Amino acid sequence: MASTTQLPTTPAALPQVVTTRRRPPKLGRSRPNFLGGLGGWLWLAIIIVPVYYVVITSLKNQAGFFTSNPMLPPSEPTLDNYKLVLENDFAKYFTNSLIVTVGSVVPALFVAFMAAYAIVRGKGRFLSWTNNVFLLGLAIPLHATIIPIYWMITKAHMYDTLLALILPSIAFAIPVSVLILSNFMRDVPNELFESMRLDGCSDWAMMWRLALPMTKPAVITVGIYNALHVWNGFLFPLILTQSPDTRVLPLSLWTFQGEFSVNIPAVLASVVLATLPLLVIYVVARRQLLSGLTAGFSK
Amino acid sequence: MSATTTTPQQELGVGRTTGTRRTLEKGPSGWLAVPALAFFMLFAILPLLGVLFLSFTRWDGLGEIKLDGLSSWNTVLADPVTGNALLVTAKIMFFSFIVQAPISLLLGVFTAASQKYRAALAVLYFVPLLLSSAAVAIAFKALLDPNFGLGPGLGLPFLAQDWLGNSDLVLFVVVFVIAWQFVPFHTLIYQGGVRQIPASLYEAAQIDGAGRVQQFFNITLPQLKYTMITSSTLMVVGSLAYFDLIFVLTAGGPGYSTRLLPLHMYLTGFKANDMGAASALGVILVVIGLALALFLQRLGGKNRNASQLEGA
């Protein structure tokens, strides 16, 4: 909900914000909800146990893995597994993932932002039709399109290139981006646009100088959300790339698993390493992401 | 966004265009939407038509594409594996909905409250969403190992089963892992929904002496109707996309016991090199997805305005 307060709100909307923020303590004042608390902690355990297992196992050597209790941390933690993964071209896969993620998310945000602006501020049948096409995109299992996409990519001689991953990733990120961005853009007070219009501003200028700063939290949220999807994407790399030179991290996990099959600690170390960058982003931008997503989807 | 600045009229106009602005004012050019639309048409809508076209062809993925009438459809519809894949998809969809929906709803209500520890828990709940499906599948494969996983680790023999090798159990293991990965996201959606419920409703209920359970059933649940539809739509349509997780976790096995439709499509096309049949399966996938999405939207009733439709 943090983004709510960061967004400009009209005076009429402000009291609502205040009441929303004030409600929870009232609930909290009633007698403690033991059953709810129990459930909450239980779910935490369900979430944490696999994570804990992955981390401790990745620090075990192979002998330790076979002999020690699987749920206890290693007596002599080792980073050898991480070294092994890093020596196996991890940096290359990481770079590939980074290129694909940045190369998809930035253009997707750019075009989705312009589209959201046009849809919210503009009028006419074309724009409403466009909006409906994007809404339809949310209801279609886009996985079903992989075969024609594979055909198009091979025809364009882009098979086994990073561009082959970037182009469809941009397209698939657009519907949800437009949805969330336009939800936020509707909250920018019309008066601001009108006053800029009176100052003789063009739509292009208003988009970048008014709409963008006003919806910055949403742009960041959508950016992270898309980055998460592209970074973790598995299907496109699986069908559109082949060689180690274009391998991205999720696919590398799968191939590591094939190569090191018996060396479970090393496989799990690769899982940790592949997730680490997202964990860092999450720690830094957690508030932004959670509040933005809550707002973007439940509007 | 509990605090929408849109008036009801605007809400209704949403999805078309905002109707409240002065008609004299010129809106931005539709051209601004063209780049996004072009990308989406080229890589999503066009392939959607392409998948229909390819379902009437014979293609091994490398050579020439030859028109072949209905033969792919005949192959697919006569193949018992297709029926099985549909059944597996339906089972996974049903069970993962039954498991995920109540957990997400309750956790969403739980984390929407103000207690500090609940906020801290919410932060940790989100962690599974950071992992790729491949990572989740690999982690659970190791964790569920009957010799070196959770079972022997906790000394609980019933946990030391061959979870992924037993065709009676594997479906439920898959449902559990899916829930582990996706409940966090839906919790977030419900959390947002709960926070939008006007405080005055609860205050009034408290004055009337309604207890916590009564408040939950008489205020929270009815108020979450549209959130439920949004979440359910994403859940159900999303379950047609559980490809990567299952591919890495079980590869559809043992036997055909977890070979659901998207995976069956992939294996038919890219492993058995029958792109025609795979495309026919793709068409089935799209039709099911659209039908389910439309059905769930209808559940919302006719009074729903476009803004809520967008939540889907």
Give the closest of A30, A186, A239 to B6, CB-based.
A186
pLDDT tens string A126-141 = 888 888 888 888 877 7
Q: Is A268 on the interface with B (CB under 8 A)?
A: yes
- Which residue do the tokens 């997730």 mark? A275
Q: Is A14 on the interface with B (CB under 8 A)?
A: yes
Judging contacts by C-beta atoms under 8 Å, the chain B residues touching residue A297 are: 188-189, 192, 230, 234, 311
Reported as type and span, the H/E element at residue A65 is helix A62-67
Q: Summarize the confidence of residues B111-121 as an average pLDDT.
A: 80
Judging contacts by C-beta atoms under 8 Å, the chain A residues touching residue B176 are: none
Grade residue A299 by pLDDT with cuts at 50, 70 and 90.
low
How far is Cα B243 from Cα A130, in angstroms, rounded to an integer?
A: 29
How many angstroms separate the CA of residue B180 from the nearest CA in chain A?
A: 7
pLDDT of residue B300: 64
Residues with Cβ < 8 Å from B139, sequence gap 6 or more? Answer: A50, A51, A53, A54, A268, A271, B131
DSSP letter at B26 equals P
Residues with Cβ < 8 Å from B151, sequence gap 6 or more? Answer: B157, B158, B159, B160, B161
- Which residue do the tokens 């009291």 mark? A15
Burial class (CB in 10 A: 0-12, 13-18, 19+), B159: middle
pLDDT of residue B25: 54
Nearest residue in A to B297, CA atom:
A139
Exposure string over B76-88, b if 16+ CB within 10 A, otherwise e:
beeeebbebbbeb
**Higher per-residue confidence, B230 vs A157:** A157
pLDDT tens string B64-91 = 888 888 888 988 888 889 999 999 999 9
- Which residue do the tokens 């988009």 mark? A207
Is B180's CB within 8 Å of A46's CB?
A: yes
Q: What SS3 state is found at B259?
A: coil
Residue B10 CA, chain-centre distance (Å), reads 29
pLDDT of residue B90: 92
For residues B267 and B252, the answer to whether their CB atoms sit within 8 Å is yes
Percent with pLDDT over 70 in chain A? 88
Q: Summarize the confidence of residues B247-266 as an average pLDDT.
A: 88
Q: Summarize the confidence of residues A196-204 as an average pLDDT.
A: 84
pLDDT of residue A16: 37
Grade residue A165 by pLDDT with cuts at 50, 70 and 90.
very high
Q: Is A210 on the interface with B (CB under 8 A)?
A: no
Does residue A12 have a pLDDT over 50? no
Grade residue A94 by pLDDT with cuts at 50, 70 and 90.
very high
Give the closest of A4, A190, A249 to B2, CB-based.
A4
How far is Cα A82 from Cα A280, in angstroms, rounded to an integer?
A: 18
Judging contacts by C-beta atoms under 8 Å, the chain B residues touching residue A253 are: 132, 134-135, 138
Does residue A149 have a pLDDT over 90? yes
Is A151's CB within 8 Å of B50's CB?
A: yes
Distances (CA, A) of A77 to A14, A81, B30, B138: 53, 10, 60, 21
**Higher per-residue confidence, B218 vs B176:** B176
Judging contacts by C-beta atoms under 8 Å, the chain A residues touching residue B177 are: none
Tell which residue, A101, A58, A66, has the closest CA to residue A237: A101
Least confident piece of the model among A110-124, A265-279, B19-33, B124-138: B19-33
pLDDT of residue A36: 80
pLDDT of residue A205: 84
3-state secondary structure A255-283: HHHHHCCCCHHHHHHHHHHHHHHHHHHHH
Judging contacts by C-beta atoms under 8 Å, the chain B residues touching residue A225 are: none
Reported as type and span, the H/E element at residue A150 is helix A146-155
Distances (CA, A) of A208 to A124, A216, B235: 22, 11, 35
Reported as type and span, the H/E element at residue B58 is strand B57-58
Reported as type and span, the H/E element at residue B67 is strand B66-67
**How much is the ipTM here?**
0.81
How far is Cα A74 from Cα B157, in angstroms, rounded to an integer?
A: 22
Q: What global pTM score does this model have? A: 0.81
Sort strands B66-67 and B57-58 into parallel, antiparallel or unpaired: antiparallel
- Sign, CA torsion A269/A274/A280/A283: negative
For residues A232 and A250, the answer to whether their CB atoms sit within 8 Å is yes
Provide the β-strand partners of residue B67.
B57
Q: Summarize the confidence of residues B229-246 as an average pLDDT.
A: 83
Is A139's CB within 8 Å of B123's CB?
A: no
For residues A268 and B142, the answer to whether their CB atoms sit within 8 Å is yes
- Which residue do the tokens 């992992």 mark? B131
Computed on alpha carbons and rounded to an integer, the radius of gyration of chain A in Å comes to 23
pLDDT of residue A1: 37
pLDDT of residue B178: 92
Residue A128: φ, ψ to 5°: -70, -35
Does residue B164 have a pLDDT over 50? yes
How far is Cα A142 from Cα B286, in angstroms, rounded to an integer?
A: 8
Tell which residue, B42, B294, B233, B78, has the closest CA to residue A297: B233
Judging contacts by C-beta atoms under 8 Å, the chain B residues touching residue A13 are: 3-5
Grade residue B20 by pLDDT with cuts at 50, 70 and 90.
very low
pLDDT tens string B139-162 = 898 888 877 777 777 767 777 677
Q: DSSP for B63-87, please give it.
A: S--EE-TTHHHHHHHH-HHHHHHHH
How far is Cα B286 from Cα B53, in angstroms, rounded to an integer?
A: 14
- Mean pLDDT (chain A) is 81
Grade residue A96 by pLDDT with cuts at 50, 70 and 90.
very high
DSSP letter at B56 equals T
Does residue B116 have a pLDDT over 50? yes
**Max intra-chain CA distance, chain A:** 76
